[in-house]
Structure formats: C-alpha cells, structure tokens
C-alpha cells in the first residue's frame, strides 16, 4: 500500500512539474477572442502596443474572487495601510503568493484595486487565455501583431496607466507582470 501511494504521489508531482512551462499553441480550439493593438513606440528596445480592447475586457482579481479565478493554495499576507487621501482611514494591502507568483491587492473601504500581478504559472490566465506557456505566435495572433522579434513587449492603454509587460523565452511566454497606475 505504501508503495502504491508513493507511486501516485510521484506521478502527480511529475505531471504538475511538466505542465508548468509547457508551450501551448492554442489554449482552446474555440478561442476566437482577439484584441486590436497598434504599435505606439519602442523604448529601450521594448515595443509598446496600445490595446484599449485588452483593458476593457480584463477581469481584475479582488479579495473576493481570487480563489475562484485561480485554483491555487495561496499564502496570504495582510498589511494595514493608511489611506493617502484620508489619513483617518486605514485600508489593507493583501499579498497573495503561490510559488513564484504574486498578486497584490489594495482593499479600500469601497473597492479592491489591483496593485501588482506578477505570474509565471500557466494557471494564471487573463483575457481570453493569455497565460504563461502560450507560444509567441499565439500571442501575436491574439493581439493582431504582424511580427514580434523582441522577447519583452508592453501592451497598454493610450495614457500608459494600465500596462502589462509580457516576457518570452524560446518563443514561449514565461512571465506576465502588471502594475497599474494607482492614485
């Protein structure tokens, strides 16, 4: 019995580790969501594409929906934070971590705001199957980008207040980092 349990645990561990950075060419055969994007400029070798469609569609995690959005055993840390607009109010900063993944949410009295979304696991999908593990070709098709030779690309709104940075290695998306502008 112990031998059978050991084999099952080893098999589960092997499958989990092998699927973590497996390249996907298409997340879903019925995936038809694409975003209109336009190259605005290239700064320090990083192209910046404007895609208001991408940000209009995004579902931001908050403290209530994070468990339903991502099936992960998060380690949660909670830190009080004095509101900069009203110093009599103490808000809360929640930091959710899982492996090398980190999601930080600022919880005010009325709203939860995404502070940071920095992920490397394919389970963290955003906007129509964009997640680490997809191929660069799939990514460029999703954003209607003709050619992307760089391994880092920014997609954001015109004001550059909402920007997502995507990192590729060997033509595979390996990391997504979002740090929206907050006032």
Distance separating alpha carbons of residues 80 and 70, to the nearest angstrom = 24
User: 171, 138 in Cβ contact below 8 A?
Assistant: no
pLDDT of 20-58, one tens digit each?
333 444 444 436 678 889 999 999 999 999 998 887 766
pLDDT of 87-115, one tens digit each?
999 999 999 999 999 999 999 988 999 99
Residue ranges covered by each domain of the chain: 2-24+36-178
């Amino acid at each position: 019995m112990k031998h059978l349990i050991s084999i099952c645990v080893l098999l589960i561990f092997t499958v989990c580790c092998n699927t973590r950075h497996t390249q996907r060419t298409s997340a879903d055969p019925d995936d038809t969501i694409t975003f209109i994007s336009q190259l605005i400029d290239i700064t320090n070798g990083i192209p910046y594409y404007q895609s208001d469609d991408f940000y209009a569609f995004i579902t931001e995690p908050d403290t209530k929906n994070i468990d339903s959005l991502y099936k992960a055993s998060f380690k949660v840390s909670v830190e009080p934070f004095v509101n900069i607009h009203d110093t009599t109010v103490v808000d809360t900063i929640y930091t959710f971590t899982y492996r090398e993944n980190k999601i930080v949410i600022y919880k005010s009295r009325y709203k939860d705001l995404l502070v940071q979304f920095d992920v490397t696991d394919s389970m963290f999908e955003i906007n129509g199957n964009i997640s680490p593990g997809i191929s660069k070709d799939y990514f460029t098709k999703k954003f209607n980008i003709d050619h992307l030779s760089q391994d880092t690309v920014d997609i954001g709104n015109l004001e550059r207040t909402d920007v997502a940075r995507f990192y590729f290695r060997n033509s595979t998306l390996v990391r997504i980092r979002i740090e929206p502008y907050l006032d």
